[in-house]
Amino acid sequence: MPTIKINDVELSVNPGTLVLDACRTVGIDIPHYCYHPALTPVATCRMCLVEIKGQPKLATSCTTTVPPAPKDNPEAVVMEVFTNTPAVADARAGVMEFLLMNHPLDCPICDQAGECKLQDYSYHYGSGDSRMAEVKRRYRYEDLGAKIVIDKNRCIHCTRCVRFTKEISGGYELTVAQRGSRLEVTTYTGKSLDQNPYAGNVVDLCPVGALTSRDFRFRKRVWYLKNTPSISRHSALGSPIWIDHEGNQIHRFRPRPLEGKETTHFISDAERYAYVHYNRQDGAPAPLLKGAPASLDAIREAFQAAGPVAVIGQGTFGCDTAQRLGDLAASEGLRYGSGDKTIPAVLPKYQTSEDGILNRRGFTERGYRFGALEELQAKVQKGEVKAVVLLHDAAFTSAKEAELLGQILKAAAFSLAFEVEASDLGRMATAWLPITSYAEESDFIVNHEGELRRYQKALQAPKGVRTLPAWVKELAAVPAAV
């Protein structure tokens, strides 16, 4: 590998590595707007300029690559980079002055305030003064559809969003029109972002608040939000995300890119807007026995008296939950898997499976058999299984599978359903217990590629709602002697 120097620090990198990425390996953060690791570098913002020894002018670190080492001298230093010279500082200040020349003073009302690169870089690299005395440029209003709001006056023309619709989502909805001072990001005639299933990513890509989410717009200041690392539960990828929450309510999901994993930079809109499903609107649901509120002691007594138990675990829950649920089964052969949601692949590179059950592999590794519910139905009808315990979320079960599960619950002498919110299927069970949602607990899954993905507790569950392992422990307890 060739050797380079960055601010007199030597390091070896692979040939072809971008200078910007090489600087990151030694802890030097190069300011940038247009560069994004998942998009083609274009060097339009000029913020990432560095000085390279031997070159007559400053170079853009997002497009300059490290050359291979010479064959006759493989130990030679092939490049010397300086990121903190007066020339570099002056160039960055000049770029910031140009970018802010027409930028409106929208910070008090802008959704990007608090996580805006224009604010951050203006503070760190800007001059602090403006020589702009003319009237700022103004653009006309344009509607991008029901999901995305654009404010062209804030746009700095980094073209991240344009490259995303071209290179990633493939819809080509956005383009750059006009030239010079009239340059603008706009849509092709007759197009909007409503039909783009990944449109919400342009909000994450925009570094300055020109593109904002209509769903999140003006709802919450980002500095009030707490960021909890989690995963998307709505695909077999288990995509890493941030849960942004405050006041025990989730306000948005965002991608949480993993180092070296390009496919983790983006999530679908279906995953992004699924956060609403995990905000509880009502108080804590009560345990039920035969449709009426009941004590845990009554449910435990009925469960322990029922007979041989089989469990049905939907593969959308964590591995620890799967293990503890399996402990209730009379034998390992009585662990059955459920969940048959599928997600048509729109972007095969970013969705490598159409399976909508994120932890199917984790459940399978713990002895759950998927596609065998008819076998369980026969055992229940023959009386070989007396009790059935179901872990279920209605959003991931088709009407056909729900009908089969309902028949199993009706045929069992005793049935118990664990759900976050009671569904029609859960109400068919003899007993029902409320469990925490994945946003209210910490666990892990194994996605369809075999990667272990952890998620952490973001919300506090209502009083009386417990994790499934906690309920299992109570159900297995020996009743106190009277």
The CA-CA-CA angle for residues 38, 104, 157, to 5°, reads: 30
Nearest to 432 by CA among 446, 448, 440, 421: 421
pLDDT at site 236:
84
pLDDT at site 53:
95
pTM, two decimal places: 0.93
- Dihedral sign of CA atoms 410, 411, 413, 419 in order: negative
Give dist(CA 200, CA 316) in Å, integer.
Answer: 24
In this structure, whether the domain defined by 288-475 belongs to CATH 3.30.920.30 is answered with no
Measured CA to CA in angstroms, residue 8 lies from 84, 87, 137 at distances of 11, 17, 43
H/E segment holding residue 51: strand 49-52
Q: Classify 4 as helix, strand or coil.
A: strand
CATH class of 3-84: alpha beta
pLDDT at site 141:
85
Report the DSSP pairing between strands 414-419 and 431-434.
parallel
Q: Which residues contact 341 (CB under 8 A, 6 or more apart)?
A: 356, 357, 395, 396, 397, 398
Q: Whats the size of the chain, residue-wise? A: 482
pLDDT at site 478:
65
Going residue by residue through the chain (482 aa), what tens digit of pLDDT does each one get? Answer: 899 999 999 999 999 999 999 999 999 999 999 999 999 999 999 999 999 999 999 999 999 999 999 888 888 899 999 999 999 999 999 999 999 999 998 999 999 999 999 999 999 998 877 788 888 889 988 889 999 999 999 999 999 999 999 999 999 999 999 998 889 999 987 789 999 999 999 999 999 999 999 999 999 999 999 999 999 998 888 999 999 999 999 999 999 999 888 889 999 999 999 999 999 987 778 999 999 999 999 999 999 999 999 999 999 999 999 999 999 999 999 999 999 999 988 888 888 889 999 999 999 999 999 999 999 999 999 999 999 999 999 999 999 999 999 999 999 999 999 999 999 999 999 999 999 999 999 999 999 999 999 999 999 999 999 999 999 999 988 665 44
Q: Summarize the chain as % helix, strand, coil (round to 5).
A: 30, 20, 50
Report the DSSP pairing between strands 387-391 and 414-419.
parallel
The domain limits of the chain are 3-84, 288-475
pLDDT at site 260:
84
Give dist(CA 196, CA 170) in Å, integer.
Answer: 9
Q: And the tokens for 399?
A: 């009407």
pLDDT at site 479:
61
pLDDT at site 17:
95
Task: State the angle between helix axes of 373-382 and 399-411 in degrees (0 to 180), rounded to the nearest 10.
Answer: 20
